[in-house]
């Protein structure tokens, strides 16, 4: 990404953050952010969406699902299930102020005359709300982003966010994506371009593919709790045959190498908090059991030519320093912070399709999609064709679906678990939805329930104190979300 594009996004985001204390106040700002052109608002929403999906919320997920072990500060606490204080900035600023409120402004300003903008905004908004409800359960949704009208928005039930509720005037996030797809097909006076669409540079055909992959992601999320809805949506997506099917079509937000422009992974793990997390020994053990350590070496560093890990709930190995611990590698961090933040990917779409076909008994070649998903991920992280071919040749039982439905689901979700390294919220969603992979408790646990890996994040303190609709006392972290186990 060119540096000037990132600066535009960050300066715009800073403007809105500085003018708003809470998301419900945004429309009361005397400087009226509604006067800002959508071309300036759009990149702020994409940066906010990327930061929310890769920052603190993702770091906590990375230790809860044991890709990483937390070894200091908040990460050490999160690894032991102490989650109080998690997500205040992500909830208030990255998601509601930096993303959702500005997306609502774009939608309001462009739906009538420039629906190319509103279509993109609706697709992004559906993703932002999915982050919120997947991690917290019931959240402000149908009344959010409308601060003047609803200064204290109600909390909508997660099942209504996913399924809709006409009686309460709640549009499902499936229909929000569909509305975005419909907008993209309409004549538009203004169309985003290179300067304001950091993701697809205004290519609406790519946005349509991303939207269908998003529908599939949501169908996968609800496939256990509502298989009928999941099957209907999956069939809709496959019939349209217009989803992400190549790595070049991945929905990802680019970042840069200049100070202050690096992605959140690099800023945290390399610059600011290099002492706080490292590779989990449990993940290393899984990788070895699958003969998959070459792929792991693309995801994590090997100081001195070997992996250096630690157990979840334990401190860092004695005598190690940040430079001698295995941490996220350049695929996730970038050599200097420039790695893109992945939102929706080709490997994810293939594996989601494979899972839905097996789980929902739908037509399609799940094994072919499974193989394509593994190949797409290995290619994306930098494995050569020869390395990929060698893995497939020497590990036929791993890369070929076989056995019962449960056996096949175990294989598919395990491969998703590996592929979602760096996209750890997705792995956390899968684990809470399927129980795959099997995770033992960390060596030391505390939190709401020391015997249960958290099933949700606790509501943030700012919401508990300012919005009387927030469940108070807050819901405990051992209470499953609607679609979870």
- The residues, any chain, with a CB within 8 Å of residue 476's CB and separated by 6 or more, are 448, 449, 458
Residue 267: how many other CB atoms lie within 10 Å: 20
> How far is Cα 202 from Cα 221, in angstroms, rounded to an integer?
28
Average pLDDT of 114-121? 98
- pLDDT tens for residues 37-55? 999 999 999 999 999 999 9
Q: Which of 372, 366, 371 minimizes the C-alpha distance to 354? A: 366
Between CA 136 and CA 353 the distance in angstroms is 26
The pLDDT value given to residue 199? 98
Q: Is 155 helix (H, G, I), strand (E, B) or coil?
A: strand
166-179 confidence digits (pLDDT tens): 999 999 999 999 99
pLDDT at 146: 86
| Nearest alpha-carbon partner for 101 in 49, 54, 31, 176 | 49
Query: Does the pLDDT of residue 436 top 60, yes or no?
Result: yes
The rounded distance, in Å, linking the Cα atoms of 65 and 422 is 12
Asked if pLDDT for residue 12 goes beyond 90, the answer is no
- Sorted by sequence, the CB contacts under 8 Å of residue 11 that are 6+ apart come out as none
Query: 135-159 burial, b for 16+ CB within 10 Å, e for fewer?
Result: bbbbbbbbbbbbbeeebebbbbbbb
* Contacts of the segment 459-467: beta carbons below 8 A, 24+ positions apart: 459/136, 460/86, 460/87, 460/88, 460/91, 460/92, 461/84, 461/85, 461/88, 462/22, 462/88, 462/91, 462/92, 463/91, 466/22, 466/152, 467/24, 467/140, 467/152, 467/153
- Bond from prior residue into 473 cis (ω within 30 degrees of 0): yes
Hey, how many other C-beta atoms are within 10 angstroms of the C-beta on 35? 8
Other beta carbons less than 10 A from residue 353's beta carbon: 29
- State pLDDT tens for residues 242-300: 999 999 999 999 999 999 899 999 999 999 999 999 999 999 999 999 999 999 999 99
Please enumerate in sequence order all residues whose Cβ is within 8 A of that of 64, keeping only pairs 6 or more positions apart, or say none. 78, 79, 81, 428, 453, 454
Please write the tens of the pLDDT for every residue from 229-253.
Answer: 999 999 999 999 999 999 999 999 9
What is the structure's pLDDT at 27?
A: 40
Mean pLDDT taken over the chain:
93
**How far is Cα 107 from Cα 125, in angstroms, rounded to an integer?**
10
The DSSP code for 140 is E
Cα separation values, 250 from 147, 172, 185, 381, 396, Å: 33, 24, 21, 13, 28
- List all residues 6 or more positions away from 208 whose beta carbon is below 8 Å from its beta carbon: 181, 184, 242
- Tell me the whole-structure pTM to 2 decimals: 0.93
Q: What angle do CA 73, 263, 304 make, to 5 degrees?
A: 65
| pLDDT value of residue 467 | 96
Inform me whether the pLDDT recorded for 5 exceeds 60: no
Mean pLDDT, rounded, for 455-462: 96
Rounded distance, CA 435 to CA 485, Å? 7
Q: Coil, strand, or helix at residue 280? A: strand
Please report the DSSP string for 186-234 in residue order.
S--S----TTT-TTTTT-HHHHHHHHHHHHHHHHHHTTTT-HHHHHHHH
Cβ within 8 Å of residue 312, ≥6 positions away = 63, 66, 69, 70, 79, 280, 281, 282, 442, 443
Confidence of residue 147 (pLDDT cuts 50, 70, 90): confident
Domain 3-254+340-345+446-466 falls in which CATH fold?
A: 1.25.40
Asked if the bond preceding 437 is cis, omega within 30° of 0, the reply is yes
User: Is the pLDDT at 18 greater than 80, yes or no?
Assistant: no
- What is the arithmetic mean of pLDDT over 440-458? 98
Question: What percentage of the chain carries pLDDT values higher than 90?
Answer: 90
Paired with 342 in beta bridges are 252
In 10 A of CB 391, how many CB atoms?
Answer: 20
Residues 66-77 pLDDT 10s:
999 999 999 999
Mean pLDDT for the stretch of residues 352-375: 98
pLDDT value at residue 294: 98
Above 70 in pLDDT, residue 15? no
How many residues can be counted in the chain? Answer: 485
Crossing angle (nearest 10°) for helices 424-434 and 56-64:
50
The ranges assigned to domains in the chain are: 3-254+340-345+446-466, 346-422
- pLDDT in the model for residue 148: 81
């Amino acid at each position: 990404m060119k540096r000037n594009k990132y600066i535009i996004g960050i300066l715009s985001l800073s403007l809105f953050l500085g003018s708003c204390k809470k998301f419900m106040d945004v429309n009361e700002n005397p400087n009226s952010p509604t006067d800002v052109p959508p071309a300036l608002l759009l990149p702020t929403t994409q940066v906010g969406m990327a930061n929310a999906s890769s920052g603190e919320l993702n770091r906590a997920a990375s230790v809860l699902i044991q890709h990483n072990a937390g070894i200091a500060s908040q990460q050490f606490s999160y690894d032991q299930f102490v989650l109080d204080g998690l997500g205040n900035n992500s909830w208030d600023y990255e998601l509601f102020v930096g993303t959702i409120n500005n997306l609502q402004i774009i939608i309001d300003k462009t739906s009538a005359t420039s629906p190319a903008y509103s279509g993109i905004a609706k697709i992004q908004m559906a993703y932002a709300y999915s982050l919120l409800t997947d991690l917290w359960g019931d959240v402000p949704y149908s009344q959010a982003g409308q601060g003047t009208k609803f200064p204290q928005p109600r909390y909508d039930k997660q099942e209504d966010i996913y399924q809709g509720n006409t009686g309460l005037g709640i549009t499902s996030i499936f229909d929000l994506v569909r509305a975005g797809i419909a907008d993209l097909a309409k004549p538009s006076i203004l169309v985003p371009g290179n300067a304001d669409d950091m993701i697809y540079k205004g290519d609406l055909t790519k946005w349509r593919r991303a939207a269908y992959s998003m529908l599939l992601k949501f169908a996968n999320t609800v496939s256990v709790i509502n298989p009928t809805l999941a099957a209907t949506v999956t069939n809709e997506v496959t019939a349209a045959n217009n989803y992400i099917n190549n790595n070049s079509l991945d929905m990802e937000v680019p970042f840069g190498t200049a100070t202050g422009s690096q992605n959140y992974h690099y800023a945290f793990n390399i610059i600011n908090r290099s002492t706080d997390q490292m590779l989990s020994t449990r993940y290393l053990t899984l990788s070895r059991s699958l003969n998959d350590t070459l792929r792991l070496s693309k995801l994590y560093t090997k100081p001195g030519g070997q992996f250096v890990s630690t157990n979840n709930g334990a401190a860092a190995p004695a005598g190690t320093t940040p430079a001698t611990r295995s941490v996220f590698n350049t695929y996730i961090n970038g050599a200097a912070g420039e790695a893109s933040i992945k939102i929706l990917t080709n490997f994810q779409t293939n594996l989601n399709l494979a899972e839905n076909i097996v789980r929902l008994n739908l037509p399609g070649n799940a094994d072919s999609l499974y193989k394509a998903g593994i190949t797409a991920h290995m290619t994306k992280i930098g494995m050569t064709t020869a390395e990929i071919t060698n893995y497939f040749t020497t590990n036929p039982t791993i890369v070929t679906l076989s056995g019962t439905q449960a056996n096949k689901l175990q294989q598919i979700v395990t491969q998703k678990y590996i592929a979602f390294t760096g996209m750890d919220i997705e792995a956390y969603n899968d684990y809470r939805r399927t129980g795959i992979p099997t995770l033992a408790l960390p060596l030391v646990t505390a939190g709401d329930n020391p015997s249960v890996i958290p099933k949700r994040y606790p509501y943030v303190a700012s919401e508990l104190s300012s919005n009387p609709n927030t469940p108070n006392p807050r819901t405990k972290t051992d209470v499953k979300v609607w679609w979870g186990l």
